[in-house]
Amino acid sequence: MNPESAAMFANILAGGIALLIVATLYTVISPMLAGDKQKKRMKAVTSERDTLKRARLEDLKTNTKLRADNKGLVNKIVAGLSLERLLAAPDLRDKLMQGGFRGQRPVQMFYFFRMSLPIIFFLLAFTYAILINPKDWPMTKGAFITMGMTLFGYYLPGIYLKNAAKKRQDKIMPAFPDALDLLLICVESGMSVELAFNRVASEMAGTSIELAEEFSLTTAELSYLQQRRQAYENLARRNNHPGIRAVATALVQSERYGTPLGSTLRTMANENRELRVLLAEKKAAALPAKLTVPMIIFFLPVLFIVILTPAAMRLGSAFG
Mean pLDDT for back-to-back runs of 10 residues, the chain (320 residues):
64 69 68 52 52 61 49 69 68 83 83 87 83 71 85 89 90 87 87 86 86 87 83 87 85 82 83 84 85 84 86 82
Per the domain annotation, does 312 fall within a domain?
no
Cα angle 65-66-71, degrees, rounded to a multiple of 5: 85
Let me know whether 141 and 223 are in one domain. Answer: no
Indicate if 138 and 211 belong to the same structural domain.
no
Q: Is residue 40 part of a domain?
A: no
What pTM value is reported for the model? 0.63
Give CA separation, 320 vs 134, 153, 308, 315, in Å: 51, 63, 18, 8
Judgement on whether residues 181 and 151 belong to the same structural domain of the protein: no
Q: Is residue 271 assigned to a domain?
A: yes
Tell me, yes or no, whether 27 lies in a domain: no
Q: What is the pLDDT of residue 65?
A: 47
Residues 179 and 118 in one domain: no
Quickly list H helices, 225-299: 228-238, 242-257, 261-294
- Are residues 178 and 274 both part of a single domain? yes
**Number of compact structural domains in the chain:** 2
Is 14 part of any domain?
no
Query: Residue 163: its pLDDT value, please?
Result: 92
Residue 188 belongs to some domain of the structure: yes
The Cα 47–Cα 30 span in angstroms is 25
Task: Please state, as a whole number, how many other Cβ atoms lie within 10 Å of the Cβ of residue 108.
Answer: 20
Rounded CA gap, 312 and 199, in Å? 70
Q: Cβ distance 142 to 129 under 8 Å? A: yes
> Are 211 and 179 spatial neighbours (Cβ–Cβ below 8 Å)?
yes
